Amino acid sequence: MRVELQNDQSGYIFSKQLIDIGNGKFPIDMLTGCINFPQSFCQLTRSKDELIQKVFPDVSQNDRNHDWLSERAILAAKNIDVNELNFKIQEQITGELRIYKSVDSPTNQDDVVNYPPEFLNSLDLPGLPPHNLQLKVGSVAIMLRNINQPRLCNGTRLAIKNY
């Protein structure tokens, strides 16, 4: 794993610590069976709102500052958490919220009975955007699938500049 944020060595140190955890090099507390993290490893938060405030302080004033945005990210394991965090962050950005819906009809009309639109719209699969994608100018988006390669790579972070 290689992490580099604007030539900041803290990304490299953090990625090394993650590798050390995976390799079992961190001490384990014999009473609890938990890993003992060093103080410099991370800052704990008590809520998602506090996490957003620590990672994106004053997002409403910095949402168009691409250097500022490029230094920040929140990773979450579940789509439901990602969607909740995105919604809360989007609320803090000024501007009109636009909703983009996915295509919800099968290409073969014989499959309409097997795949009703309500079923297709309810799917929340990893690696796919939600049926209702909500964006504002200043929002950050991640390229999930690039159809027109090699101009952009999957996983590229993008900023919404206009509609």
Domain ranges of the chain: 1-42, 46-159
Residue 41 CB coordination number (10 Å): 15
- Residues linked to residue 89 through DSSP beta bridges, in sequence order: none
CB 52 within 8 A of CB 74: yes
DSSP 61: H
- Cα 63 to Cα 74, 83, 86, 94, distances in angstroms: 15, 18, 13, 9
Q: Strand, coil or helix: what is 156? A: coil
- At 93-125, the pLDDT tens digits run 888 888 888 876 667 777 777 777 788 888 877
Name which of 134, 80, 61 is nearest 102 in CA terms. Answer: 134
- At 36-91, the pLDDT tens digits run 777 777 777 889 999 999 999 988 888 888 888 888 888 887 878 888 998 899 88
C-alpha–C-alpha distance, residues 92 and 27, integer Å = 40
